[in-house]
Amino acid sequence: MRPSPSEAADTVVGDADDPAPDVLASLGLSASDEERVGDDREAALAGVADLWPAAAIALVAVPLALVIAALVSGAGGLAAKIALVGLPALLAGPGIFALLRLVVAQQLATHHRVALVAGVAAAAAASLFTLSQLAGNLTDHSVQMAAVVALFGTMIVTVAVIHALPAATLGFAAALAAATVVRHGLSWSSAAAIVLTVLLGHGLIRTARARLRDLAEQEEAADAEALASRLVNEFERHGSGWFWQTDRSGRLTYLSDKVAREVAGFGIKAKGEALTRVFRVDAELAETERTLTFHLSSRTSFSDYSVRPAPEDAPERWWSISGRPLLDHLGRFQGFIGSGSDLTEKRRAEAEITRLALFDSLTGLANRQRMRLQLEQMLAPNQRGHGFNSLVLLDLDRFKAVNDTLGHQVGDELLKQVAGRLQKTVGEIGMVGRLGGDEFKVIIPREGNRERLGELAEAIITALSRPYYIDGATISIGCSIGVAIAPEHGDNPEALVRNADLALYAAKGDGRGVHRFYRDELLEGAQYRRQLEDDLRQALKQNQLHLAYQAVVSTADERIVGYEALLRWSHPTRGFVSPAEFIPVAEECGMIEAIGEWVMRTACAEAATWPEHVRVAVNVSPIQFANPALPSLVTSALATSGLPPRRLELEITEGVFLNEDASSERMFAALKRIGVRLALDDFGTGYSSLGYLKKAPFDKIKIDQSFVRGAINESNRNAAIIKAIVTLADTLGMETTAEGVEQQDEIALIGELGCSHIQGYVYGKPAGAEVVHEQLAQPGGKAIAVGFKTSRAQRHKMLRAARVSLHGESAEVRIRDISTGGVLIDGVDLPAEAVGFEMKIELFEGQMMPATIRWVDDGRAGLQFAYPIDVDQLIQSTQRRAA
């Protein structure tokens, strides 16, 4: 840390408790490490050397004159005394000159030279005092007076010359006082000489100390000034800041060199020019240019004013300046002083930030923020009455699979190409933006015609569904579209975006690759799902959930070898709620893991009461499968219930392979180490791949019911597909279960095709635990077939949403099976009294088909069409929309 001025002085003069070094240092008689003190002593010696010739002449001339005067008066003896006594004074002149001027003497330390000069001066003083006493012996009175005057004059001249050296001055005075004491003894004159010398010494020492303090303060100030100068120079040279100063009239007297050179390039000579003629205030950030002039004329401070070069044709350059009035020590105005900083890069960065804030960095499309601003502007109250405006939301289908399999770099390139196709398709009729991920938005002003919007949506779907070629890979994706029209579907941004999102959700639910317009029923459906979520949370707490078990029967001997545990919900007011409704809700809201744990523990506990050969199968959702805690949950459920691991079968859908990675393999290995069985559920639907059959250690393949139904018809290929699956499973050492068997004539066919097990309504509907015990108590544990004996009209699996109408009320349902004469729907809670009533169902968009309710059961219903339909045409229409 740099010492303060007082600390610096104390370092030189020493401690007050040790006066001798302090006095010697003050008088310059001891060495000093302080460079400035040494320089000051050298300067004092140099000053004495410049004046010493005058004193030296006096010191040489006066003794010689006295000797001559004594010889002239005939006092030879007196002349000899004068010569002897005056010799020190005579030698002091050239001696001190030699000490001050000769190179050899200058090599001595400064304090040594000061001490020598002080000693020689003291000897000269004693010599001059004694000569003044001898001058009184001259016989001529006038000569006597002249001699005394000359001697005292020489003393004065000598003291005047050596006054810059306090030690020499004090030595000279001390020698005079000592000579007085020697000459007069203890007398009043001696006392006076001593007192005066002491006072002179005290004054000289105080003055010397003050001088040392001044030197210390000067050094501190000089160091601070030098540091400040270096910092300012460094700041100006390498930083973005700079400084300026004006005189009283506002003309620049100083401007940092880098800025001065820059404005000179604009044709402005900064120094001497008025500040307002060098810089002008940014009109966008300040009221007028007179703002800066006002501060200069009113002599008030200002800060952070954005300025640019005064010439209009100067290139784009920005600075921020601040200033304050500069006053002298009397408070008089001297001008302005201030600082500035470069704003150019900041302005450019702000412009880039603005661009990034409004545009998507990957695709260059408008981003969420800009689309929101555009939508707010389009739907502003002052714009209402200018016609319809439309909002189109798009979501890419199968994009996540591209990211997972080909990497994010390919995914990013795909998004760029999608953006290009989207812009090209939309053209000038609307603004295209990317919301993030694989979501896009199109704002179409002054357009509300559904036909034209539908054509645009189909054109977008077609354009985006064409193959992409990236890094040698051919990629196929699709998109789903939701459309909302203002003000019909909302007159503010929040409502319009919400309703377009609901329409997009409906498009995804209808098999993807289609577009849907918003309908009021969609909002009701969303509100219904939200209420369903709240009710589901209560259902888990209030034990409204229960399990139903569907038998799995061996084709070899028709014995029941296991049951699949199926989750059911009996709502206190809604009645039976279909799993197709609440399972997706549970997955979306994060409750599926808690529900799955309850199912696992309940199924294991009830299965533990069954015969040893009967297994229980529990469905595991992809979300549960991705949780590393699943093996611990399974182990805990088995340990708590006492059920052997071999009697627990976990049914896993193909959805778990969407994110196929090392964690999936670790999960399979962990589950097999427990000893449980693994079954691949709904094989042949979703994301079927033979590759994972090779990796995953499945014990069973469950053939989806879409292949089982209609297999009895010879014209159908389903039987061949089932046979191929069975052959594959046998080769891999896996069992097979045919799901959805409903007719008794299908039992024999499934057995002939080689399936090892059958599951379906042909052996009864899923039942409670009590019924399970009754079924297992049958002789030989055999299952009893209860389904239709022969197959009805061929039914087709068609998982899609539809709208139904009953007594003027509409609802969303889901089609499960369809034939030429009827359809199976679920997601509808109809009372038994509804059987026989007429209902309308929308199979083709905009066309309501009349049908009669033939049966209702557990949230499902069978409808008989008023007239046969062309199922193939319906399937082809659905497939075209999906493509």
Lowest-confidence range among 508-522, 546-560, 755-769? 508-522
pLDDT value at position 692? Answer: 67
**Domains in the chain, CATH or no CATH each:** 5-218 (no CATH), 239-348 (3.30.450.20), 359-517 (3.30.70.270), 529-781 (3.20.20.450), 796-882 (2.40.10.220)
671-701 per-residue burial string, b: 16 or more CB within 10 A, e: under 16? bbeeebbbbbbbbbbeeeeeebbeebebbbb
Query: In a 10 Å sphere around its CB, with 0-12 CB exposed, 13-18 middle and 19+ buried, how is residue 511 labelled?
Result: middle
Phi-psi region at 543: left, alpha or beta (left = phi > 0; alpha = psi -120 to 50)? left
The rounded distance, in Å, linking the Cα atoms of 397 and 508 is 9
Residue 880 has a pLDDT of 59
pLDDT higher than 70, residue 667: yes
Of the listed ranges 91-95, 210-214, 359-363, 626-630, the one predicted with least confidence? 210-214
How far is it, in rounded angstroms, from Cα 92 to Cα 832? Answer: 142
pTM recorded for the entire structure: 0.47
Q: Name which residue leads in pLDDT, 48 or 873.
A: 48
Instruction: State the average pLDDT over residues 464-481.
Output: 91
User: Model confidence at 380, in pLDDT bands (50, 70, 90)?
Assistant: confident
Bigger pLDDT: 605 vs 44:
605
pLDDT at 856 over 50: yes
User: CA–CA separation, 883 vs 876, rounded Å?
Assistant: 10
pLDDT at residue 382, rounded to an integer: 66
Structure confidence by residue, pLDDT tens digits, 142-156? 888 888 888 889 889
With 90 as the cut, is the pLDDT of residue 780 above it?
Answer: no
- Which pLDDT tens digit goes with each residue over 259-303? 888 888 888 888 888 888 888 876 555 444 457 777 888 888 888
CA–CA separation, 528 and 757 (whole Å):
39
Work out the average pLDDT over 194-202.
85
Q: What is the pLDDT of residue 877?
A: 66
The per-residue b/e assignment along 736-752, b for 16 or more CB within 10 angstroms, e otherwise, is bbbbbbbbbebbebbbe
pLDDT at 635 over 90: yes
- The model's pLDDT over 424-435, given as tens digits with 9 standing for 90+, comes to 999 999 999 999
Distances (CA, A) of 439 to 410, 419, 467, 718: 17, 11, 19, 38
Query: Which pair of tokens denotes residue 527?
Result: 């509100």
Q: How confident is the model at residue 13, as a pLDDT?
A: 38
Higher-scoring residue by pLDDT: 677, 385: 677
Q: Examine the pLDDT at 633 and tell me if it is beyond 90.
A: yes
The C-alpha atoms of residue 776 and residue 606 are separated, in whole angstroms, by 13
Residue indicated by tokens 């100083």: 254
pLDDT digits (tens, 9 = 90+) for 498-525: 999 999 988 987 878 899 999 888 887 7
Between CA 674 and CA 698 the distance in angstroms is: 14
- pLDDT band at 481; cut points 50, 70, 90: very high
pLDDT per position as a tens digit, 682-725: 887 655 556 667 777 899 999 988 888 777 776 678 888 889 99
Q: What is the pLDDT of residue 281?
A: 78
Sort 288 into a burial class: Cβ within 10 Å, 0-12 / 13-18 / 19+. exposed
pLDDT band at 612 (very low <50, low <70, confident <90, very high): very high
Beta bridge pairs of residue 328? none
Average pLDDT value for the chain = 84
**pLDDT at residue 548 tops 90:** yes
Written as six digits, the tokens of 576 are: 């039976």
Long-range CB contact pairs, 717-723, < 8 A, 24+ = 719/749, 719/753, 721/684, 722/750, 722/753, 722/755, 723/753, 723/754
Q: State mean pLDDT over 386-414.
A: 88
Residue ranges of the alpha helices (H) in 239-317? 257-264, 275-278, 290-298
Residues 125-136 as b or e (16 or more Cβ within 10 Å = b): bbbbbbbbebbe
DSSP string, 269-289: --TTSBHHHHEEE-TTTSS-T
User: Which run of H or of E encompasses 839?
Assistant: strand 838-844
pLDDT at residue 563 in the model: 96
For residues 489-496, average pLDDT = 89
pLDDT score, position 790: 56
Residue 274 corresponds to which tokens in the numbers above? 């008025």
CA–CA gap between residue 413 and residue 316 (Å, rounded):
36
Q: What is the pLDDT of residue 829?
A: 81
Name the band, by pLDDT with cuts 50, 70 and 90, for residue 463: very high
Q: Which residues pair with 485 in a beta bridge?
A: 390
